[in-house]
Structure 1
Amino acid sequence: MRLPALTLVVGLLTWMPALGQSKVSTEQTLAHLEVFDVIVEDLDEDTERHGLTKNAIETDVELALRRSGIKVYSNEEWLDSPSMGYLYVQVNAFGNSNGLYVFHVHMSVNQMVYLTTGDYTYAQTYSPPGRFGTIGAANLRDVRGSVKDLVNKFINDWLKVHQE
């Protein structure tokens, strides 16, 4: 009973609109970003033991970006670029004793934004709706497909504003 309730909560959180949205479309925020670093959040040991690994996700994301012509830099190179952003990927998976997992995938682009005070900070400026679902432990590595769906959405949006 707890697993369906958790699925519902994760689904509602994914669907809720972000607070503090601007009048600029999310695609427009990608217009001046040329270089990306990829940051994948650590996964818990149980998730990695069942075949869904941080390294595989990071490789998938970087390869998809490079294949589409988007520059991927290391953290050091990225910091030297004036048009820098980072693609942040977070995958959460929670399993039960029956080998069933609930998962949620979140992806966002974060970039430097300047405040009216003259200061700057990094903020999330692009985030397609996340993905969530349930999957058996033996198929947990297939969650990478949900990550790829979000990355492909990002790539299409990035290409759309860079081909104009």
Structure 2
Amino acid sequence: MYFHFTLRASSHHFSYFFGLEGISVLVEDLDEDTLQAGLTRERLETVVALRLRKAGIPILKPSAEQEGQPFLYVRVTTIRIADEMLFAYTVQVELRQHVRIERESPFIKGGHARVASATTGSDGAMGYAGRGVFARSVTGRIEEFIDNFALAYLKSKDIERAEGPGEPKAQEPKGSTKSMHQSVQL
């Protein structure tokens, strides 16, 4: 089968890049249906790395010394249907990094949570594809999402260079108090 269909499931704009000097990448282990459809973890790692390098974004090696290092998390989940000729799938690309929680918490010793890992941007889709176009369809979605990430990252770096090092200048949205971070939206 040589057809595919993709529905955009979510798009939470990537933001909060200020101070990032690069990004590491984690591609989740693939399930058996994904492997049988012809897609491998190594292929996805290569696709992501090439797109980031093409955009000029440094790829950092994961390191135990760099606890809390920001990373792109890539997950593909697949379900085989219709006698192995059709595959339903989801694709998710997330920017994960440590964030500071400022509010008090009765569950944390001392009342304040210091740091937590959070998704600060994501892009995702679900779709289906015939066996002949499955790998191309999924990698196409991942390339699109990495390009979205790269565009937001590079825009934030332009703003950071213009404003200088440190936190971005606070923005004052209408009808609210000053925000702490500037969000780059596509």
Output aligned runs, 1:6-155, within 5 Å. Answer: 14-15=9-10, 26-76=13-63, 79-80=65-66, 84-98=69-83, 99-116=85-102, 117-128=112-123, 130-142=124-136, 143-155=138-150
- CA distance in 1 between partners of 2:157 and 2:67 (Å): 18
1:33: how far off? 1.8
Residue 109 of structure 1 aligns to a residue whose secondary structure is strand
Task: Indicate how the Cα distance of structure 1 residues 36 and 95 shifts in structure 2: closer, same or farther if over 3 A, else same.
Answer: same
Rg larger for = 2
Distance in 2 between the 1:40 and 1:121 partners?
21
**Aligned partners of 2:31, 2:59: CA distance in 1, in Å?**
26
Structure of greater relative contact order (alpha carbons < 8 Å, 6+ residues apart): 2
Bigger drift between 94-103 and 51-60 goes to: 94-103
Identity %: 29
Q: In proportion to residue count, which structure has more helix?
A: 1
Cα shift at 1:118: 4.9
Query: Counterparts of 2:30 and 2:14 in 1: how far apart (Å)?
Result: 29
**TM-score for both structures, normalised by structure 1:** 0.77
Q: CA RMSD in A?
A: 2.5
Contact 2:33–2:78 (Cα < 8 Å) also in 1: no
Q: TM-score, normalised by structure 2?
A: 0.68
**Number of aligned positions between the proteins:** 144
User: 1:133: Cα distance to partner?
Assistant: 1.3
* Cα distance in 2, alignment partners of residues 100 and 71 from structure 1: 37
Alignment partner of 1:157 out of 131, 134, 152: 152
Q: Secondary structure at the match of 1:75?
A: coil
Structure 1 stretches of at least 4 aligned residues deviating more than 4 Å after TM superposition? none
